[in-house]
Amino acid sequence: MAPPSPPTQDTAPPHATVESAPPSPVKAVSSESLFGGSCEVHIDHRGTLYRLRQTSLGKLILTK
């Protein structure tokens, strides 16, 4: 005998709410560990290459 199948959203009472999972924490990375002594890193995001550079004033610039 097969185990009972779990209830679907259609069988939930009309007043029931669907709870979503709590948001995952945002990952923090220090710029020192990201750049590793360099002034530029390349980031491959979904097949597109981006350049993240540090300026001489310590600001960050992200370009395609």
Q: Which domains are seen in the chain, by residue range? A: 30-64 (2.10.70.10)
- DSSP annotation string for 18-60: PPPPPPPPPPP--HHHHHTT-SEEEEEETTEEEEEEE-TTS-E
Q: pLDDT per residue over 13-38, tens digit each? A: 566 666 777 888 999 999 999 999 99
Alpha-carbon distance of 15 to 17, in angstroms, equals 7
pTM of the model: 0.58
Higher pLDDT, residue 4 or 46 = 46
Helix (H, G, I), strand (E, B) or coil at 1: coil
Phi and psi at residue 29, to the nearest 5°: -125, 130
Alpha-carbon distance of 16 to 2, in angstroms, equals 27
